[in-house]
Structure 1
């Protein structure tokens, strides 16, 4: 990250600045795309995380809280709003009754698929920027 002299070079600042700009642009795109679907970006992320675990198509509230870096009680409220919107459904876990599984419903799946398709090009562009920043040593 630092040069031999122990300081950051101009090229590294430029790369970091570009990365932060592109990252914020991606996040803004995601917010706008979710809003166009009639949901919040957090609702989109919740639905995405229900599908993000290998070998299953649900996630626990605790797992979603971890992925969102949010408090458990805040995620419970978010799940409630998603349930009211007909996007997800809660089920008690068969393996551990203390756990609550969040399952995507058909309406949620349709919104998630549309949004994921819209995000594909944006993610590819962001990946290119990350590769460039890594090469710059930033």
Structure 2
């Protein structure tokens, strides 16, 4: 994956122009939004690459992270996973089927409602998740300075 370099090295600056009554965006507003989107794209590209190196697809990593992050102590319903991944239920079912075959997830029927399916991470799923998540956590820590600047710039936009 090609690394994208930032061409402009000029520092981020606080918004200096006031919005009009029509809530028109200033040049600084557009710059803040563009920088935020750029940082998101950089992180997502990095995330996809690290998941691939670990032997996971981006969707598999996102599913493992959602299950661990939102229901670490109890199984998660497939419908809830679908909602968190922002995909249709049948797409999540197919993803879960593939992940069960790969030994990343364990699937079980809910004892209270036989129509609902629950998923949990296997030891292999937990191990791969930890491997990728640890790198992501460290990367976010090193990227925090730029994200803080973007956040401050967006915050100053809100205060106008």
Q: Same fold by TM-score, threshold 0.5 exceeded?
A: yes
**Bigger Rg, structure 1 or 2:** 2
Question: What are the equivalent positions in structure 2 for 1:17-32 lying under 5 Å apart?
Answer: 17-32=34-49
Q: Does 1:4 align with 2:51?
A: no
In structure 2, the residue matched to 1:94 is: 111
Do the aligned residues in 2 keep the contact of 1:88 with 1:104 (CA within 8 Å)?
yes
Change in Cα spacing, 1:62 to 1:29, as seen in structure 2 (3 Å) is: same
1:56 CA drift (Å): 2.4
In structure 2, the residue matched to 1:77 is: 94
What is the TM-score of this pair, normalised by structure 1? 0.88
* Structure 1 runs of 4+ with >4 Å offset: none
In 2, distance between residues paired with 1:129 and 1:122?
A: 16
In 1, distance between residues paired with 2:75 and 2:116?
A: 12
In structure 2, the residue matched to 1:48 is: 65
Cα RMSD, aligned residues only: 2.1
1:134 CA drift (Å): 2.6
Q: Does 1:67 align with 2:78?
A: no
Aligned length: 138
What is the TM-score of this pair, normalised by structure 2? 0.77
For residues 12-51 of structure 1, give each alpha carbon's deviation from its aligned partner in whole angstroms, at most 9, with x where no partner exists.
1111110010001111111101100111010001111111
For structure 1, which runs of at least 5 residues remain unmatched after alignment? none
In 2, distance between residues paired with 1:62 and 1:120?
A: 27
For structure 2, which runs of at least 5 residues remain unmatched after alignment? 1-17
